[in-house]
A and B are shown apart, each in its own frame.
Chain A
Amino acid sequence: MILALARASLVRHRARTLLAIVGVAISAAMLLDMVMLATGMRVSFRSLLLAQGFQIRLAPRGTLPFDTDATIPGAASIVAQLYARPDVVAVSPVLGAQLHAERGAASVSAAALGTLARVQGDYKLLNGRPPVADGDVAANDALLTALGARIGDTIRVAAGFDPQLRGFTGQRTVRIVGRAHFIYLAAGERALALPLPSLQAMEGPSQKDRVSLIMVRLRDASNVEAARDAIDRQMPAVSAISTTTAIEQVEQRLSYFRQLAFILGTVSLGVGFLLVTTLVTVSVNERLGEIAVMRAIGLRRLRIVEQILIEGTVIMIVGAIAGLGLGLVTARYLNSILAAFPGLPEAIDFFLFQPRDAWIALGLLAGSGILAAIYPAWRGASLPIASTLREEAVA
């Protein structure tokens, strides 16, 4: 009976109930988006860092990987020291640079990564073979399209330009042996990979035995922080960064979004709460006589409270379920806006849906719906029966 009464009360003012549900749905959509924003970036960044199984990254002391043009000196010695550690399985040194690439009339610049193909963790080979010999390169689709090239073609690449001699420096002809997807680069960024010694030689004496980054894969993934501390103490030229510390540093830089998510999420919840409170309170005020009659014929206070709580919760839950769908659509749209951040890796999502997020949003809204109905429920249940009936009859 209580359910039927609650339903009748909601259906009596269809437009009002519908508007409240729409309002709650928008609030729910915003809340879901903000929960996704608060957690998605962290999860997305973590899975990106661990995609290739490297738990520790070494960058020039005081920097984050590829944050500056700084490079690590004595790379060969550092790699040897790392391999001497019993807990290290693989070490991947990487040198980053900007190269000019030419083929026919096409001339473009591209990000170049010098890696050791057998241990690299920066790209996934889609076709062909990895660049292992001097003169081999693997290029991504953006570069292949810009040059109008494909696997097997030769292109000319250069490391720089000498304005006095008016000619390219570090120039050589290379052969495209593979098509690759670069994991950490932004969408549409032109890139190629070549053997580390080749890129070091092209860059000249200034980059001899230097690398931008060293990635380390450990035997035991549970011992990362201890290994990181030991490496950091052992090698003064580098900062050892574990996945956890990298996430913390990136989160510190992007703390704005987490704070924004918290503020907007709280506001959304507050708006939904106010909407339901107002609606249910007005609805109860309109039915004071009806509630007094029900009390007079023997309905207990608890049943009145239950009915009003059900009304508030139903509005919240129906609105929240509608809002979850709306939230996924808006999250996709908002993610497409933030994906345009310069240099953001293609694989990073600011809004990442996880079932846990949906349950959190739904739980918060359901709880908020119950809270929102408490005041009107208390008001309805504590009515003095006789005087209310008299006032309503006079009215």
Chain B
Amino acid sequence: MFVFLHALSFILAAQAIDSVPPRHPPRTVAIDERLAQDAGLHVGDTLVLTPNPGHAGDTVVVSALMKRASDPSEVARGSYRIRVHLDELQQLVGYGERVERFAVSTRGNAGADSALHAIDAAAFGFRAYSSREIAVESSTTFLVVSRFHRAIGIITIVASAVFLLCIMLLKVDERRRDVAALRLMGISARTIVRSVVLESALIAVCGSIAGVGIGSVVSAYVNWHYRRVYRTPLTFSLVTGEIVAIAVTLSLALGVGAGWLAAQRLVRRPPLSLFGR
């Protein structure tokens, strides 16, 4: 098994050098593209790695550039990553034969649980975790953000409902004379309520379509902006079919509800009173 230790935990100081001849053939390292970009490093460049800045270290050659993983737990960290051969890093930081963790690949998902139990039962002093458990643990920050977004969403829905109700009330109020005339002509209150509800439903659907369009554009902008800010390929905002369905359904329900309330207020008044008499 080929295992790497994360250099992040040890904060190696890397310094680009041009003319120091190595005494032994230098080992290779892979650096992340952010470090390469910030330090102006390229494949084939020579570096000195040292656990203590200003002290002697090992000369290494950059053999590869790594793309940063879409890891939510690292999104706000500005740290750089260097992948070093295990034995070299152990020697460099005086870590002996110790490692911080092993990654174990099993044949299929079914084998993972039995492997977990077998490893845990083999000895004590360490514990095996499934990738899912680690993902849940490292995503806690984003779960909190998600709960925060949900709370903000609820406040927004309440505000939208009040706004919509207010607008519908104004729209219906504006037409009280038309409604009075219709009522005097014999059109039933039920028909008037239906027409108002239908109108508000149409407005809600049109608003939803516009909202989905604006949401998709904003989502694309959010992803572009935060990917640039945090320099990560992570997707920050995702417009899925489920989200669109929830938004449209909510909007429709709010629109119909607001229209019905406004129409009820109108048809309860006698037609002559709507005329102002």
Contact = CB atoms under 8 A, between A and B. Distances in A.
A163 B151 CA distance: 46
B162 A26 contact: yes
A16 B166 contact: yes
Nearest to A34: B152
Interface in A312-360: 330, 333-334, 337-338, 340-342
Interface stretch (B8-16, B22-30, B102-110): B8-16
B122 to A, nearest CB: 10
Contacts of B144: 337-338, 340-342
B170 interface: yes
Contacts of B53: 61, 236-237
Residue of A62, A63, A278 ringed by the most chain B CB atoms within 10 A: A62
B56 interface: no
Given A162-B125, A206-B94, A271-B159, A282 B9 contact: no
Interface string A242-261: 00000000001111100000
Interface in A268-309: 268, 271, 274-275, 278-279, 282, 285-286
B169 A16 contact: yes
Contacts of B9: 68-70
A20 interface: yes
Interface residues of A, number: 50
Interface string A1-45: 000000000000101100110110011011000000000000000
Interface residues of B, number: 40
Interface string A152-167: 0000000001110010
B134 interface: no
B170 A62 contact: no
A15 B162 contact: no
A19 B147 contact: no
Contacts of A131: none
A96 interface: no
B13 A61 contact: yes
Contacts of A70: 9-11
Interface in B38-77: 52-54, 76-77
Interface secondary structure of B, over-half rule: helix
A53 interface: no
B11 A61 contact: yes
Contacts of A27: 159
Contact of A166 (B124, B152, B163): B124
Interface secondary structure of A, over-half rule: helix
A253 to B, nearest CB: 4
A22 B160 CA distance: 11
A255 B76 CA distance: 9
B165 A19 contact: yes
A60 interface: yes
Contacts of A275: 163, 166
B79 interface: yes
A333 B151 contact: yes
B141 A341 contact: yes
Interface in B229-245: 229
B148 interface: yes
A282 B163 contact: no
Interface in A58-75: 60-63, 67-70, 73
B118 interface: no
A256 B142 CA distance: 12
A264 interface: yes
Given A166-B125, A254-B76, A275-B166, A68 B8 contact: yes
B158 A342 contact: no
Contacts of B140: 340-342
Contacts of A73: 52
A337 B153 CA distance: 14
B15 to A, nearest CB: 11
A69 B79 CA distance: 13
Contacts of B165: 19
B170 A282 contact: yes
B218 to A, nearest CB: 9
B20 interface: no
B155 interface: yes
Contact of B159 (A26, A161, A252): A26
Given A334-B148, A341-B141, A271 B163 contact: yes
B100 to A, nearest CB: 9
B247 to A, nearest CB: 16
Interface in A165-192: 166
B54 A334 contact: no
B265 interface: yes
A30 B163 contact: no
6 contacts: A27-B159, A63-B11, A253-B76, A285-B174, A337-B151, A342-B141
Interface of A: 13, 15-16, 19-20, 22-23, 26-27, 29-30, 60-63, 67-70, 73, 161-163, 166, 206, 236-237, 252-256, 264, 268, 271, 274-275, 278-279, 282, 285-286, 330, 333-334, 337-338, 340-342
A-B pairs, top 8 by smallest CB distance, nearest first, are A163-B125, A236-B54, A70-B11, A253-B76, A26-B159, A23-B162, A19-B166, A161-B125
Given A163-B125, A275-B163, 11 more contacts: A15-B169, A20-B166, A60-B11, A61-B53, A62-B13, A67-B79, A68-B9, A69-B9, A166-B123, A236-B53, A342-B144
